[in-house]
A and B are shown apart, each in its own frame.
Chain A
Amino acid sequence: MANVRTICMRELAGYFGTPIAYVFLAIFVFLSGIFAFYIGGFFDGGQADLRAFFQFHPWLYLFLIPALAMRLWAEERRAGTIELLFTLPVTMFQAVMGKFLAAWIFTAIALALTFPLWITVNYLGDPDNGVILASYLGSLLMAGAFLAIGSCISALTRNQVIAFVVSGVVGLGFVLSGFPLVLELVDAIAPSIVVDTVRSFSFLTHFQAISKGVLQASDIIYFVSLIVFWLFVNAVAIEWRKAA
């Protein structure tokens, strides 16, 4: 565990050592505000809650998370430090976990920085804080799934731009599979069991369920198993392409 921590701290320090981290945090908080207040009709809804804000998270993560995850492994490959890392007394699990956790903690910090929105809704009205808390948790879980995908894909290339684009596309697949338009399309060409399967694979379906305030085991298990699955593939990918 000490190794996981050491790697995680190095990676976190790496985030904060570059201006990109602060740009990321600023964009995240700024866009969250924009969507909550303007696009989500925060004031027009006549209702003080953060629904619009959270609804927008899958789309926000779609490009912000790949930007966070792209450097995790691609940069180690490009710089050749992967050789340094894996000749230290560290296991594959520790290395993958340490890096993933760093990116996840960074995302949690970004989410935490949106607290003024939460204060605002409480000031303006009387929102269900339980729902808000569940939504935050759901959002963090979903971010973890996006990150695991991004980390895995970053392990397959030494080019951060490629890692960014590909994980964006894969993430989009996971979001869109719950999008009504897509589901109607699938419905038109495939039996309903396929539609259900596609829907059940979507971030949207599970995230929306959690953000209604119902913390169901199945939704949590969905995200956690996605994270585990992608991190496992991540480890296999590193082992497989270590020499490349």
Chain B
Amino acid sequence: MIEISNITKRFGAVTAVDDVSFSVGHGEVLGFLGPNGAGKSTTMKMVTGFLRPDQGTIRIGGVDIAASPVEVKRWIGYLPEGAPLYGEMTTRGFLRFIAGMHGFRGADAEGRIADVMEKVSLESVMEMPIETLSKGFKRRVGLAQAILHDPRILILDEPTDGLDPNQKHEVRSLIKGMSAEKVIILSTHILEEVDAVCTRAMIIANGRIVSDGTPEELLCRSRLHNALRLSLAICDLDETTVGRVVETLRSLPEVSQAEVSSQSDGTLELLALPAGPKPLAGPVSAAAHANGWHVTGLHVERGRLDDVFRAMTTD
């Protein structure tokens, strides 16, 4: 659906997007991850046809956006970063304008407005000037204008940024609800968001793609992937006991490393990292049993996205 080949965009001396290529197909929800200034927004601005790449081509549904920008823009719904809106207009007036720009008139336009109004719950603010709305409502108006024409492609630049946890949850549910029938690209700083809504995650740093895969694949790269957290109840916690437990764990062939993550009155918490793909839970519980440890907790880590993120975006 979207094919991006070797696009580059420079702002003066800064290369915001550096020879980036990827494609996105139906049913995919692609999350752009990356630190501030990585080039996420610039990439999106080029895909939506707002900015022209200095080099490279963008084809959407097989059509080159540089050749037929207006045609391609009909298929795209876009929520720019910060959801800019015409503040002096009422929600209804604004959505009428957007409908008009997409060529919907009369009852057709009103029907679509009523549709999105319900979808993103705007009923209560339809007659209010947009500038008087709360951040959450403004974001929803932004989403409403992006989906009003039922586009095949949705591009959302930080759709949940600055929202409270409930609003974040609402917006994510909305996105998930639409993911089956659309191609969606969104950007975010929030790593759990990728896990929650994306089928594919792309880490961008310094204008380049440094990783591209499913959120699961990303998690596998985490140091903590399949690591085991173990809590033991031990009455007399002393250096030697702790040392012995750690040593025992380290001696297991499946464990590459074991360390104490915390120790307090009667409780010892340990972290064991795997040596290979074999699960740790079995051998570790066997060892616990053999040594008569009193296990109060055993938890397998999926890995931490921020771990992976930091490793890939700093150097």
Taking beta carbons and an 8 Å cutoff, which residues of A are in contact with B?
2-3, 6-7, 9-10, 13-14, 17-18, 79-81, 83-84, 86-91, 242-243
Contact = CB atoms under 8 A, between A and B. Distances in A.
A68 to B, nearest CB: 16
23 contacts: A2-B100, A3-B101, A10-B97, A14-B86, A14-B88, A17-B88, A79-B86, A79-B87, A80-B82, A80-B84, A81-B84, A81-B86, A83-B78, A84-B84, A86-B50, A87-B49, A87-B50, A88-B101, A88-B102, A89-B70, A89-B101, A89-B102, A90-B101
Contact of A87 (B71, B76, B85): B76
Contacts of B86: 10, 14, 79, 81
Contacts of B101: 3, 6-7, 88-90
B180 interface: no
Interface of B: 11, 45, 48-51, 70-71, 73-74, 76, 78, 80, 82, 84-89, 93, 97-98, 100-103, 145
B151 to A, nearest CB: 11
Contacts, number: 68
Contacts of B74: 89
Nearest to A243: B51
A243 to B, nearest CB: 6
Contacts of B11: 243
A102 to B, nearest CB: 13
Contacts of B70: 89-91
Nearest to B90: A17
Contacts of B103: 2, 89
Nearest to A14: B88
Contact of B80 (A2, A10, A84, A242): A84
A17 to B, nearest CB: 5
A122 to B, nearest CB: 40
A13 B97 CA distance: 11
Contacts of A88: 73, 98, 101-102
B84 A83 contact: yes
B98 A87 contact: no
A242 B48 CA distance: 14
A188 to B, nearest CB: 45
Contacts of B88: 14, 17-18
Nearest to A90: B101
Given A3-B101, A6-B101, A89-B102, A83 B73 contact: no
Given A3-B101, A89-B70, A90-B70, A84 B76 contact: no
B276 to A, nearest CB: 48
A130 to B, nearest CB: 40
Contact of B50 (A6, A13, A14, A83): A83
Contacts of B87: 79
B145 to A, nearest CB: 7
B278 to A, nearest CB: 50
A187 B229 CA distance: 91
B309 to A, nearest CB: 27
Given A87-B73, A89-B71, A81 B85 contact: yes
Given A81-B84, A84-B80, A87-B78, A242 B97 contact: no
A242 B84 contact: no
Nearest to B87: A79
Given A79-B87, A80-B84, 20 more contacts: A2-B100, A6-B97, A13-B93, A17-B88, A79-B84, A80-B80, A81-B85, A84-B80, A84-B85, A84-B145, A86-B49, A87-B49, A87-B50, A89-B70, A89-B71, A89-B101, A89-B103, A90-B70, A90-B73, A242-B51
A177 B102 CA distance: 45
Contacts of B100: 2, 6, 9
A50 B85 CA distance: 44
